[in-house]
Structure 1
Amino acid sequence: MTRKKVDLTYIKNDSKRKTTLSKRKNGLVKKINEINILCGIEACAIIYTPDNPQPEVWPSESGVQSVLSRLRGVSELEKGKKKLCQESFLRQRIIKAQAQLRKLRNEIRKKEVTLLMFQYLNAKNNFDNSRMIDLNDISNLIDQNLEKIENYISISQAQKVKPFVDNGGETMSSFVNHVKGYETNVEAIQNDVLSMDLINDNGDEIKP
C-alpha cells in the first residue's frame, strides 16, 4: 500500500500542527542519530519551537558546539562550494533534464533518418516529396557511415598486413590478392555498418 502524498502547506489547525511538529521533530532527531551511528559522522540539530524560547539541541550542547566549531573553521570559499539553495538545485535538475531530452531527441531523429534512408534505397519513397531537412540529415548520416566504413577497412587491412610482415615467406602477389579480397567485401561491410543504426536498445531490428 502506497503512502498518501503529503500536502506541504502550513497547517492552520493548532492541535494538528503541534502533533505534526512533535512527530516530525522526533523523526528528524532519530534520522540524525542513525546517520551518526551508521556512517560515523558528526551531526547536530538545533530546533526552535514557538512554545519554547530555548532551543532544543541534539545530541547535547557540547556536541552542537563541536560541530559548529568545525563549521566556523571552514573558509568561506570552501563553504560556497557546498551551498545549494532550492533555486540552484531546481536549476541544476532542469539543465540535466534538458540535456537528457536533447540526447533522446537526437537518438530518435537518427533512427527516423536511418529508416527514411532505407526506404529510399528500397524505392518506397521518392525524392520529389522529400523535405530539405530530411535530405540534409540523410546526407550527414551517409557521410558518418562512410567514415565508419573507411575506418573499419583501414583497421581490418592493418590487422591482416601484420602477419605478412612477420612471415617474410609470403610473396608479393599473395599479399596483393589478399588486399583485393578486402576491397571486394566493401559492399558487405557497408551493409553491416548501416544496419547497426537500425538496432534499437533492446537489440531488435527496425524493419524499414
Structure 2
Amino acid sequence: MNDTARRTTYKKRVTSLMKKVKELSILCGVEACAIVWPSPMEVVRVVGEFKSRPENDQTKKGLNQEDYTRQRVAKAKDQLVKQQKKNRRMEMENLIDFRDLMWSIDDRLKAVGHKMEYFHHRLPKPGGAAAPAAVPVAQKTVALESLENQMLMDIAPRPPDGLVTVAYPGGQDMMHPGPYGHYEDPSFWGPPFFA
C-alpha cells in the first residue's frame, strides 16, 4: 500500500473513530480519549488530567464484576417482586369477575325458572276450561312488545343502581327496578301478558 492511500484511509477512519469516542464520553458521562498517531500531546494531557484526580474520582463511576452482578441481581429481584404482585392482583380481579359472572348466570337461571313456572300455571289443563276468546290483533301486538321488553330486561347487564331503562313504543322510556332479586315479589311480574 502506498503512502498516499494510507493517509487517505487514516483521515477517513480518524474522523469516525473520534466520533465514536465522543459518543462514548457523552453516554458514560466521563472524559475519554483514543490514542491515535500523530498527536501524542493531546493524549498526554488527558491521561495526565485523569491521573491528577484523587483515587476516589478515578473509580467513582467504575464497577467491578462483582458489584455489577450484585446490581443486576437486585434489579432482577425487584422486577420479580413487582411481577408477582401484578400477577396476584390480576388473579384476584379474574376471580371477582368470575364470581360476578356466576351470580349473573344464577340470577338469569332463576328468572327463566320463574317464568317457566308462571307460564306453566297459566296454561289450561287438558280437558279443562275452553280456550279464551279471540284477542284483537292490537292487544296481541302490545302483549308481544311487553314480552320482548321483559326479555330484554332479563338479558341486559345489571346496572349499578339496580334500575333498568326500558324503551316502550312511541319513544317513551321508563326506569324499572332491575329483575335481580325481586322474583318472589308478585308486583314484579305485573299483569299476565295474554289475559
Whether these two folds match at TM > 0.5 is: no
Q: Classify the TM-score, shorter chain.
A: 0.3 to 0.5
- Of structures 1 and 2, the one with the larger relative CO (CA 8 A, separation 6+) is 1
Between structures 1 and 2, the one with greater helix share: 1
Q: TM-score, normalising length from structure 1?
A: 0.33
Q: TM-score, normalising length from structure 2?
A: 0.35
